[in-house]
A and B are shown apart, each in its own frame.
Chain A
Amino acid sequence: MRGKTLLLCVLVSVTLPFLPLLLWSVADKWFYPALFPQAFGTRAWSYVFTTAGSQILDGLFTSFSLALMTTIVSLLLGVPAGRALGLYDFPGKKLTMLFLTLPIIVPPLSVSMGLHLWFIRLELAETFFGIVLIHLTFCLPYTIFVIRGVFSNYNPDFEAQARSLGAPPLTVIFRVMFPVILPGIIVAALFSFLLSWSQYLSTLIIGGGKMLTLPILLFSLIGSGDRPVAAAVSLVFILPAFLALLGSAHYLGRTGLKGIR
């Protein structure tokens, strides 16, 4: 019961800032000093769904496939890396951790600009794969850190026990390790997906304006000064993140992280 109240408080505080966006998206006339719009209308939404509909749909698709690809790759690399960092001691472990934080510490602009030159040379600039790579420089460290946290509380004896009960190595990974760390994997996947989803600068630089993801469309709309339309597109942009949050809150609220110990 208390957990539910808490969840409700969190949800309200997360959704409240979006109220102005919602109002803007249905406002036809809203001038200072009015607290609420003076006239309501569906101009912005009809623009989103009809005039710019195909463009926004394309943007949604591009953003989604980029985020999905980035998430898959960062999990494929992040789970083994996080396991190694969380479970084992090896020479150079601290250095590796420092190295992993570099893309987070160094301003993204510098990282993207620097890598851009390399990407042009390697013919990765303005490609889907190139953008996945640049997103990975930001997503992978976070994934590794989350998974490492999961594994530092993980008891590898579970795996030894499964082996002794007759489970071959691959079965141990998928039937024992995976279910135990699943909550952590979901958190890491969400992190990775949303981080990639909201990338603007790096996509712009490496994509050279050719990859029209949702954030790039959004910025151009905000620049044009049409607030109701920008608000409507923003809401479309937020929707997947919001759904993901709800889904994970529901899932994690149910199972918690109890499987980890």
Chain B
Amino acid sequence: MRQLELRNLTIRYGETTIIRDLSLSIKNGEIVSLLGPSGAGKTTILKTIAGLLQPAGGQIFINSISVNHLPAEKRDAVLIFQKPLLFPFLNVAQNIGFGLKMQKMARREAERKIDRILEITELAGLNSRKIHQLSGGQQQRVALARGLVLEPAILLLDEPLSNLDAELRLQMRELIYTVQRQTETTMLFVTHDQSEALAISDRVCLLLDGGLRQTGSPEELFYSPADPEVARFFGCDNIFSSSDSFTQQAGNFHTDQKLFTIRPEDVEIFSDQKEPTSPRHAFEGTVTGMIFEGRLTRLTVSVTEKEHVTVLCRRPAFHIGQTVWLRMPKDRIHFFP
């Protein structure tokens, strides 16, 4: 059964069309991330699914039922906002129980559910804490618990990690992942952070220019981008054409396809022509740029005046101006379809 299906969803804001003809379906128990640059309309899509905004066109199905005309409170979808938005006049348990109270669930049953969800989200014992006594990470977890406890057909998460610092972000990411596996809640997760999307999701949908550019497993999007723009989004600016002068040297591609890409970390770099195991396809270049990024260093190697190859490597022993040899392993090269 399909938990969520969007058919030709179009969303306008005033005169501008933000999302055009977007179609997407999410299966039961799946965790899908909607990835895109800031301002791409990701939050708008979530709000539309949740029923807080009206689409200009298209259909939204939740549990195979069209929900276009259902108000937000009647849809079996819960949106968790970027900010925790915990009600300041309620304590932790009351905040989590808010939705259950709306469903008029019996008190004992509600308490049991609240306790269980507090356990899962590692908040046990904080039932009667006031909101302002919680840390940022705890607040975000309460917000997550408040959605999870309702066991909606689909949980919509709007950048739930963006307000947290780096370490908390990792913990929260882990937590969302484990909680999702435990509760088997179907989730649609919005983020602008590719590493978040890749780490957490079964499938990634890349949103560019108001439409889905590519949908697939994290590995597919990362290693087999559909077009140069997708590749660039994932931090790969090695886009070359097989007609480029140096590519003749780099290997005999025997193909009609023109554009190809290779991940910067897949390019091999040597200080001596004799070093590569198959020196046949090595080609020469000069290091013209070097940025230390921590774990890896980003090198820009100019092959000709206009052609540059980006290389990511660990602890490079090169300096700017040095002549180096590059090799592009054939199995790492991806031709755009």
Contact = CB atoms under 8 A, between A and B. Distances in A.
Interface of A: 155, 157-158, 160-168, 171, 176, 179-180, 182, 258-259
A170 to B, nearest CB: 11
B146 A179 contact: no
B79 A164 contact: yes
B73 A166 contact: yes
B150 interface: yes
A82 B80 CA distance: 28
- Say what secondary structure dominates the interface of chain B: mixed
Contact of B72 (A157, A158, A164, A180): A164
Contacts, number: 62
B132 interface: yes
Interface in B56-113: 71-74, 77-79, 81, 83, 85, 87-89, 98-99, 102-103
Given A157-B83, A258-B132, A165 B89 contact: no
B102 A155 contact: no
Contacts of B79: 160-161, 164
Contacts of A158: 85, 87
Interface in B133-165: 146-147, 150
Interface of B: 47, 50-52, 71-74, 77-79, 81, 83, 85, 87-89, 98-99, 102-103, 132, 146-147, 150
Nearest to A158: B85
A179 to B, nearest CB: 4
Contacts of A171: 102
B52 A258 contact: no
A168 B85 contact: no
A165 B81 CA distance: 11
Contact of A161 (B81, B88, B102, B150): B81
A176 B87 contact: yes
A259 B150 contact: no
B85 A155 contact: yes
A161 B81 CA distance: 7
B270 to A, nearest CB: 55
Contacts of A155: 83, 85
A163 B47 CA distance: 11
B87 A160 contact: no
Given A155-B85, A179-B87, A164 B102 contact: no
Contacts of A259: 88-89
A158 B131 CA distance: 14
Nearest to B52: A160
A93 B110 CA distance: 45
A166 B150 contact: yes
Nearest 5 A/B pairs, CB to CB: A166-B102, A165-B99, A163-B72, A179-B89, A164-B79
A163 B85 CA distance: 12
A166 B102 CA distance: 6
Contacts of A168: 71, 73, 102
B85 A165 contact: no
A180 B103 CA distance: 22
Nearest to B46: A164
Which of A157, A160, A164, A180 neighbours the largest number of chain B CB atoms within 10 Å of its CB?
A164
Contacts of B50: 164
Contacts of B83: 155, 157
Nearest to A167: B102
Q: Of residues A160, A165, A258, which shows the largest number of chain B Cβ atoms within 10 Å of its Cβ?
A: A165
Contacts of A165: 73, 78, 98-99, 102, 146-147, 150
B85 A157 contact: yes
| Most chain B CB atoms below 10 A, which of A157, A160, A168 | A160
A166 B72 CA distance: 7
Contacts of B73: 163-168
Contacts of A258: 88, 132
Contacts of B89: 179-180, 182, 259
Contacts of B102: 165-168, 171
A170 B199 CA distance: 41
Question: By CB atoms of chain A within 10 A, which of B71, B88, B147, B150 has the most?
Answer: B88
